[in-house]
């Protein structure tokens, strides 16, 4: 299945909340069999570049769609435009 998103970034300094977010996102992507790259970024520069003030944050193709909380998988699906 395809979505308009090709790169999903999970941004966070590497704490438990960020790992949990990464796990949720990867699970959704694998379950829906979509072809996109899921990356974890711990770079402060990258967070600041994207305007992220609170982590964990999610960015689709360089655009922040969520920040400061761990999303539920339904929310990630909705953000990705999945049914």
Partner 1 sequence: MTTGAVDRDDGAVPAAETTAGWLSGRGWALGAVALVWVGLYVAIRPVADWLSYRALGLARGSHVGEAVAFFFYDVPKILLLLAGMIFVITVLRSFFSPERARRLLSGRREGLGNVLASALGIVTPFCSCSAVPLFIGFVESGIPLGVTFSFLVAAPLINEVALVLLFGMFGWKVAALYVASGSVIAMLTGLLIGRLGLERYVEDFVWQRQFKGSAEDAATLSWENRVALGRGAVRDILAKVWAYVVVGIAVGAAIHGYVPTDALAGYMGRDAPWWSVPAVVLMAVPLYSNAAGMAPILQALVEKGAALGTALAFMMAVVGVSLPETILLRRVLKPPLLVLFIGVLALAIIVTGYLFNLVL
Contact positions vs partner 1 (CB under 8 A): 12-15, 17-18, 44-45, 47-55, 57, 64-70, 72, 75
Residue closer to partner 1 (CB basis): 7 or 44? 44
Cα separation, 31 vs 27, in Å, equals 6
CB of 17 or CB of 26, closer to partner 1? 17
Q: CA 21 from chain center: how many Å?
A: 7
Tokens of 81: 């435009």
- For partner 1, the closer of residues 34 and 70 by Cβ is 70
């Amino acid at each position: 299945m395809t979505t308009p998103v090709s790169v999903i970034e999970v941004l966070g300094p590497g704490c438990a909340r960020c790992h949990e977010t990464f796990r949720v996102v990867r699970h959704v992507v694998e379950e829906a069999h979509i072809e996109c790259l899921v990356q974890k970024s711990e770079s402060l520069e990258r967070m600041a570049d994207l305007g992220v003030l609170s982590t964990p944050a999610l960015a689709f193709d360089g655009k922040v769609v969520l920040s400061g909380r761990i999303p539920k998988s339904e929310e990630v699906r909705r953000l990705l435009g999945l049914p």
